[in-house]
Amino acid sequence: MSKRYLVTGGGGFVGKALCKELRRQGYSVLSLSRGKYPDLEAAGVHTKQVDIGSNLDSWVGLFEGVDGVFHTAAKVDMWGDYKGFYETNVLGTRNILSACRRAGVRNLVFTSSPSVIHTGSDLVNVDESIPYPEHYHAFYPQTKAQAEQEVLASDQSGTLRTVALRPHLIWGPNDTNLIPTIVERARLGRLTRIGAGENLVDLTFIDDCVNAHILAMKALENSPEIVGGNAYFISQGDPVKMWGWIDEVLAAHHLPPVRKAISKGVASAIGAVMEVVAKASSLFGLRIKPLLTRFLVSEMSTHHYFNISRARQDLGYVPSCSISEAMKKTFGDNRKVA
């Protein structure tokens, strides 16, 4: 009998790709998300509209008979009210954990982020031993870190076993976030290089991100004593210069490379001022989203790449392609170096 998996956030980039791959491999899949996604239904995925931050009793029954849960749902943004991040990323995750316990689900794979250990400084080939920072410059990494810690603390032999994955900058065909954001900003003339443009970063191709999730679930099922309660960095293991890669993405869309540049110090100062203005505007009922924040500045100007040896060893994770090969898979013959 085929195993039955539940995926939260099935309408998102990762969740949707994961649902479809699980179906391709012959598993029964139930997707929980806020919207309707006919393409998932067409792929044989059962879908339910659920707000995971809402009343747990109204949807906990959906977890009955589920062999494992992939919790990919999250509020991801550079800016916003703390309440929105907390309700989805923290309270929503608590609800998922409670639903698993009440329904007797044995395994949970949580989609986290390397931003949970983001300090604003360079992160060079760091591994999972790096501690959480004492302070965060944005609500997204703050709430994701809290959720990750609660997920890992919930790992318990004989009941619920958990793993957290930290894929970095996920992209590829059908990307709904990273690539579209870069292209849109470039077309609006709002893309400015921050710093010298030499900072190296890790990227994660969507196919490998999905594969890492499935490998993590299989590891929980077969060797929970090794992987249970652990976090794992996931990437291509092939760091690239962020701004050089951005220029390649722009070239694939027949756009010119980034010409404007600003120092990290000046950008940080501008970001801090924009944050103050945005916070002040909220007191008057206005919702002004800053174009630049201190968190975004540090993300775009520092080295941040990660050691994936632990994922290779414990999960059997092996990236399927290099960044160059992933570019070709994503953009095909449109790709050219700017």
- Which tokens is 93 given? 């995750």
The tokens 């756009």 sit on which residue?
Answer: 255
Choosing from 27, 136, 140, 305, which is the catalytic residue?
140
Q: Are 335 and 251 in contact (CB under 8 A)?
A: yes
The Cα 102–Cα 288 span in angstroms is 41
The Cα 139–Cα 284 span in angstroms is 21
What lies within 8 Å, CB to CB, of 245 at 6+ separation is 201, 203, 323
C-beta contacts of 45-53 below 8 A and 24+ residues apart: 45/10, 45/19, 45/20, 47/10, 52/8, 52/88, 52/92, 52/93, 52/95, 52/96, 53/87, 53/88, 53/91, 53/92, 53/95
Stated as kind and residue range, the H or E segment containing 190 is: none
110 in helix, strand or coil?
strand
Please indicate whether residue 140 is annotated as part of the active site: yes
Length of the chain as a residue count: 338
The Cα 275–Cα 148 span in angstroms is 26
- Which tokens is 178 given? 């990273």
Write out the catalytic residue numbers: 140
